[in-house]
Amino acid sequence: MIDYYRQIIDSKLNQFCNDQNLHIDNFRGALCYSLVNGGKRLRAILVLTIIALKRQVSEDDYKIAMGLEMMHAYSLIHDDLPAMDNALLRRNLPTNHIVFGEDLAILAGDGLNTNAFYMISNTNIAPEKIVKIVKTLSKKTGIYGMVLGQAADILSSKNRLNKPQKWLVNFIHKNKTARFLQSCCEIGAILSDQDEKIFSKFGLYLGMSYQIIDDYLDIVSDKKVLGKDKKDIDNNTLTYPKVYGIKKSLNLANKLKGLAIDAVKNIQGHERLIELAEFIVKRVS
């Protein structure tokens, strides 16, 4: 199921880029560079898997999923910028600003962010559902979620936040990473008329587990396997292994995975969600 949806999303994103005639080729190149060059497509897979528990996935659902991947691509482009992580490598390729320059990378990120909402609104889905989807996505990827977490991450790395480390690392990663994944699960529930609260819990626990594994891999994984710069130590990033140690961090990741699975254990077809949870904890990149 994971590979099946990944292949479809990759194909549709490539087709989207091929269809764009923006008259400014360099900008189009920057926009599509980070969108189509690989990736786990986890956010799209989450929403599509949850929908498929209840009904057949539609073309409008795929548009929503593509919008989520655009939002994710924007976040990666901006995260890699010199003023942020100053990363040179992403998915074993030079980062967007290295190829296209910092100016076009910023604009590509801006364009993908706003176009995510265009993709969502440019569907035949009931207006009240569109409003709910826009509300949850904008809240959890904006100043009440991902952007807030990123701000805290930057300030903490510069020792500009007077907060306890355990509180801070949980605050950063709950907002920076988990809230976005949580919104994807809620959106899947909205589109398929399922219980949003159940999938909200699933997404939050899954997102926290995902980030802990991300922190762990930054320490132990080979750079070529990881596909990106290992910048946590260089950037003085506050991570779970730094605060809790590697062993306790892995225990936390597995505990959170278990909580995610428990949240959906009474959902028919929950085995597909368990597959996703196991994938997140066992991944190597």
Q: What is the pLDDT of residues 102-158, one digit of tens each?
A: 999 999 999 999 999 999 999 999 999 999 999 999 999 999 999 999 999 999 999
How much is the pLDDT for 226?
A: 65
How much is the pLDDT for 192?
A: 98
The predicted model gives 225-251 an average pLDDT of: 82
Burial class of residue 43, CB neighbours in 10 A (0-12, 13-18, 19+): buried
Which has the higher per-residue pLDDT, 237 or 17? Answer: 17
How much is the pLDDT for 218?
A: 85
Q: Return d(Cα 141, Cα 113) in angstroms, integer.
A: 10
How much is the pLDDT for 147?
A: 98
Percent of the chain with pLDDT over 90: 87
The residue segments making up the domain with residue 218 are 2-282
pLDDT at 230 over 70: no
In this prediction the pTM is 0.95
8 Å CB contact between 69 and 39? yes
Backbone CA torsion sign across 13, 14, 19, 20: positive
Helix (H) or strand (E) segment spanning residue 64: helix 59-80
User: What's 268's domain CATH number?
Assistant: 1.10.600.10
How much is the pLDDT for 236?
A: 84
Q: How many CB atoms lie within 10 A of CB 150?
A: 19
For 44-100, the pLDDT digits (tens) are 999 999 999 999 999 999 999 999 999 999 999 999 999 999 999 998 899 999 999
Domains: count for the chain: 1
Helix (H) or strand (E) segment spanning residue 89: strand 89-90
For 184-218, the pLDDT digits (tens) are 999 999 999 999 999 999 999 999 999 999 999 98
CA atoms within 13 A on the CB side of 217: 20
How much is the pLDDT for 220?
A: 83
